[in-house]
Amino acid sequence: MNPPTACRVCLGPLALMASGSDVAPRPESFAPTCHRPGAHGDLYRCRACGTVEQPSLPRGEALHDLYRHMRDQEYLEEERGRRRTAQRLLDLLGPPAPEGRLLEVGCGHGLLLDEARDRGWNVVGLDLSIAAARHARERLGLEVIERPLEDSGLDPDGFDAIVIADVLEHLDDPVSGLDRCVELLAPGGALVIATPDPASLTARVAGSRWWGYIPAHFCLIPRATLRELVTARGLTIVAERPYVRSFTPAYWLNGLADRSAVVAAVGGLARRLPRRALLSMSLGDERVLVARSPAVAAARARGARRRSEVSRARG
């Protein structure tokens, strides 16, 4: 393919950052637990906004098909920790209002939705993975729609909270994805975003072995650029926290062993660590951003749209 010339986030100029593998992407490469360093395609960095892109990935339906057929056999082995991570994200929202509706984009097996439902939220999830959506529906009794965000069929202004955690980097058009989330927010609703930051100190120190550079990541948006995108859409950032994850010590150590010869030398320790213990920490390369839509402005905009629709219907 011809080298890309313009950033899909800001249209700025792109420069090759790192050459990668020319192996065609496969569904198993898109599993959440797949973090093989060096398996990505060529990476390009935007000279203007700092976004790192992997343009060799397919787009549209071809990309969606990879996610539809993706299965992750290891994901639920860390269910306790993943639920604790989800609980911390939900803590940022506070208790739901009566009949409060929450949407999770890329809900996977439905663990966060299950935790949110226990707190009183009315929940809906979006996910393309047939296997993950089946688990969420059949094992947890959740409503999961197997459609992409841009064609979800959901009503605008429909949700008091939207969570899009570790998903924005997977979209072939993250700006349009963000726009769609804003459209789906009810007046005064909260948008929770977490996405890896390629400009973080952790990413810079790790270099080409940073966990963010994997086959499934299409666009990695720096935190400063993400903040600009969010505020440009009329949302107010009300909170920003380190993204603290919970996993077993063995899971953490195995992940580090994949990326460091020093850690690999003691990787055998992972098999002797307590299996029920959980270690919670942030690697410093991802933060959780919470933004709210202005209630008055959003309500006026919704009213204006409805008046326009009525006018067109009468005309």
**Domain membership flag for residue 264:** no
**Domain membership flag for residue 256:** no
**Which has more pLDDT, 20 or 254?**
20
Q: Which two tokens stand for residue 289?
A: 């951003």
| pLDDT at residue number 274 | 65
User: Among the listed ranges 18-32, 233-247, 250-264, which one has the minimum average pLDDT value?
Assistant: 250-264
**Domain membership flag for residue 148:** yes
**Which has more pLDDT, 139 or 268?**
139
Q: What is the CATH number of the domain that holds 153?
A: 3.40.50.150
pLDDT digits (tens, 9 = 90+) for 76-124: 999 999 999 999 999 999 999 899 999 999 999 999 999 999 999 999 9
Burial class (CB in 10 A: 0-12, 13-18, 19+), 107: buried
**Domain membership flag for residue 268:** no
**Domain membership flag for residue 44:** no
pLDDT digits (tens, 9 = 90+) for 260-292: 544 544 455 555 666 678 999 999 999 999 999
Domain count, the chain: 1
In this structure, are strands 144-145 and 52-53 parallel, antiparallel, or unpaired?
A: unpaired
**Domain membership flag for residue 276:** no
- Rounded to the nearest integer, the mean pLDDT of the chain is 88
| pLDDT at residue number 94 | 93
**Domain membership flag for residue 262:** no
| pLDDT at residue number 214 | 92
**Domain membership flag for residue 90:** yes
Domain range for 81 is: 59-244+282-314
* pTM of this structure: 0.89
